[in-house]
């Protein structure tokens, strides 16, 4: 895909949604960090239901650490892999308190050193909480980038590298959110809604014979 097409894709996504953000609910970088840890292999809806209850009681590293794993589990047990996630959240709180003065570090390496935090989670926090121009490649972004020809790659790392290199700088802060939302609600895995896609004429995806047509 050439640079002109890429720019037009992001121009249209920005026009439709000038101020995109995560669908996870949070008010502080720490709340976002915990929500993203909990969101692995879970929906944002399920995480939001859990964190609303949790944050009403405990919304700081000290408060959640004081709950302990057994005290945290009742708040997150509706989320998949909740036992391991509870363990990771408690240990993350401990590290934040002992090594970062209770603050979420604004550094990718320090974030990735936290339990349950990989590169994707670190990039989400850096981008969403701190406004850093990062792109967290999740399953939606990986699919969209490959399917439409925006940044094809066989690995998450390859797609991230291509997106960071080829996305015009003025779009970098928001590209992560636009691509996730596009993959979640339009360019879906099984039945992409090409007939209702604002960038369909720019997309390099060709095999549309099995897709629904407008009006169905």
* Annotated catalytic residue 87: no
Residue given tokens 């390859």 in the structure block: 158
The pair of three-digit structure tokens given for residue 166, joined into one six-digit string:
């080829």
Helix (H), strand (E) counts: the chain: 10, 0
Give the three-state DSSP class for 51: helix
The Cα 17–Cα 35 span in angstroms is: 23
Distances (CA, A) of 13 to 132, 160, 183, 200: 19, 19, 12, 12
The Cα 75–Cα 52 span in angstroms is: 9
**Residue-wise burial string across 166-188, b where 16 or more C-beta atoms lie within 10 A, e elsewhere:** ebeeebbbbbbbbbbbbbbebbe
* Annotated catalytic residue 44: no
Do residues 24 and 176 make contact, with C-beta atoms less than 8 angstroms apart? no
Query: What is the separation of C-alpha 42 from the centre of its chain, rounded to a whole number of angstroms?
Result: 12
Which among 70, 138, 162, 165 is annotated as catalytic?
Answer: 138
Which among 5, 44, 85, 120 is annotated as catalytic?
Answer: 120
Residues with active-site annotation = 120, 138
């Amino acid at each position: 895909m050439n640079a002109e097409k890429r720019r037009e894709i992001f121009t249209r996504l920005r026009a439709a949604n000038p101020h995109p953000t995560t669908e996870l609910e949070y008010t502080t970088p720490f709340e976002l960090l915990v929500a993203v840890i909990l969101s692995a292999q879970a929906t944002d809806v399920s995480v939001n239901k859990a964190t609303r209850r949790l944050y009403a009681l405990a919304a700081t590293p000290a408060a959640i650490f004081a709950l302990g794993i057994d005290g945290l589990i009742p708040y997150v047990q509706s989320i998949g892999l909740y036992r391991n996630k509870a363990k990771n959240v408690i240990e993350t709180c401990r590290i934040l308190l002992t090594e970062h003065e209770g603050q979420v570090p604004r550094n990718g390496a320090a974030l990735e050193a936290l339990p349950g935090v990989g590169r994707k989670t670190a990039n989400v926090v850096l981008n969403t909480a701190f406004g850093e121009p990062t792109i967290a490649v999740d399953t939606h972004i990986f699919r969209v980038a490959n399917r439409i020809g925006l940044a094809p790659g066989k690995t998450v790392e390859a797609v991230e590298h291509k997106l960071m290199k080829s996305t015009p700088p003025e779009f970098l802060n928001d590209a992560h959110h636009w691509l996730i939302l596009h993959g979640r609600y339009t360019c879906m895995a099984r039945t992409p809604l090409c007939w209702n896609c604002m960038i369909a004429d720019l997309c390099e995806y060709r095999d549309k014979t099995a897709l629904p047509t407008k009006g169905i």
